[in-house]
Structure 1
Amino acid sequence: MTDLIIEPLDRRHDRAGFQCGVPSLDNYIQKQAGQDVKRRVSRVFIATEVGNATTIMGFYTLSSLSIELDQLPENLARKLPRHPVPVALLGRLAVNQVAQRQGVGTMLLVDAIKRILSVSDDIAIYAMVVDAIDERAQRFYESFGFSSLCSDSRRLFLPLKSWQSSGN
Structure 2
Amino acid sequence: MITNGSENGLIIEPLNKNHKRSAFDCGIESLDDYLRYRASQDIKRHVSRVFIACGPQDKTKVLGYYTLGTLSIDLSVLPEKIAKKLPRHPIPAALIGRLAVDISMQDKGIGKMLLANAIKRTQAVSDEIAIYAMVVDAIDEAAVSFYKHYGFSHIADGTRRLFLPLKSLK
Q: TM-score, normalised by structure 2?
A: 0.94
Aligned equivalents of 1:2 and 1:78: distance in 2? 40
Aligned equivalents of 2:35 and 2:93: distance in 1? 23
Q: Specify which of 63, 69, 76 is matched with residue 63 of structure 1.
A: 69
Deviation track 1:63-86 (CA, whole Å, cap 9, x = no partner) reads 010010011100110011100000
Give 1:60 deviation, angstroms.
Answer: 0.1
Counterpart secondary structure, 1:153: coil
Q: Which runs of 5+ in 1 are unaligned?
A: none
Paired residue type of 2:133: A
Match of 2:152 in 1: 146
Describe the shift of the 1:142–1:99 C-alpha distance in structure 2 as closer, same or farther (beyond 3 A).
same
Give 1:153 deviation, angstroms.
Answer: 2.6
Residue pairs, 1:39-58, within 5 angstroms: 39-58=45-64
Give 1:111 deviation, angstroms.
Answer: 0.3
Q: Which runs of 5+ in 2 are unaligned?
A: 1-6
Sequence identity percentage: 58
Deviation track 1:14-71 (CA, whole Å, cap 9, x = no partner) reads 0101000000000000100011001110000000000211000000000010010011
Query: What RMSD in Å do the two structures reach over aligned CA positions?
Result: 1.2
User: Following TM superposition, where does structure 1 have runs of at least 4 consecutive aligned residues deviating by more than 6 angstroms?
Assistant: none
Match of 2:20 in 1: 14
Paired residue type of 1:64: T
